[in-house]
Amino acid sequence: MLSQELTGLGELYSSTAPQKEICPAPIFELSNVQRNRRLADMQNFGGAQHFSGDDMDRNILLPEDDPQAANRTLSLSTSTAELPSLFSGSVSYPVMVGQNALTVHGVYQSNSFNVDEFRFGGEYVYRKQFALRLGYKATSSSSDIFGLTYGLGVQIPLGTAKMDVDYAGQSVSDFFNDVQHLGLTFRF
């Protein structure tokens, strides 16, 4: 049943500064726990952040003050900053299941300070041992330098353990060569 597979909405608050008054940054996530997949999440939405409190006050004697005068308390003020909110939703569909499998994926990501992104991809697994992956990111920005992603993987049995070797690449236009990644995972 779907309600048994999905976790509820939860909140996680984070504060990253030593000041005493901080606006929390909530994160909500909806996931499919049994398949370890994220369906949707929202991060950093809510009111703007503003720092204040005793840590922002300084008790000093200014050079132009009378040396016998009492110290002055200066309070620093900060401007209000909007949090960079993010919403993403994803879908994955197993086209083929079994010894050989094909899965397609789609992700939509909306950023408050950047263009929205659509990501599409697929993975073909042969004999549960070899994987071939292909993906693409589409945006409305003409200055986006990243495009096609590609990769492959192999699972090597080592007695009772397994070793995964994964290679991934991403095409980069104009400035640099493609980005290359190599991963090595041991499973005991």
pLDDT in tens, 98-150: 999 999 999 999 888 888 899 999 999 999 999 999 999 988 887 778 889 99
Residue 75 has pLDDT above 60, yes or no: yes
- Of residues 154 and 176, the one with the higher pLDDT is 154
Residue 86 and residue 112 in contact, taking contact as beta carbons nearer than 8 Å: yes
pLDDT tier, 167 (very low <50, low <70, confident <90, very high otherwise)? very high
Residue 160 has pLDDT above 50, yes or no: yes
Residue 24 has pLDDT above 80, yes or no: no
H or E segment and range at residue 3:
helix 2-5
Q: What percent of the chain has pLDDT over 90?
A: 33
Residue 44 has pLDDT above 80, yes or no: no
Cα 87 to chain centroid, rounded: 10
SS (H, E, C) 23-53: CCCCEEEEEECCCCEEEEEEECCCCCECCEC
Residue 108 and residue 118 in contact, taking contact as beta carbons nearer than 8 Å: yes
pLDDT at 89 (0 to 100):
87
Average pLDDT on 33-54 reads 69
**DSSP letter at 20?**
S
Give me the chain's average pLDDT, please.
Answer: 78
**DSSP letter at 81?**
B
pLDDT tier, 16 (very low <50, low <70, confident <90, very high otherwise)? very low
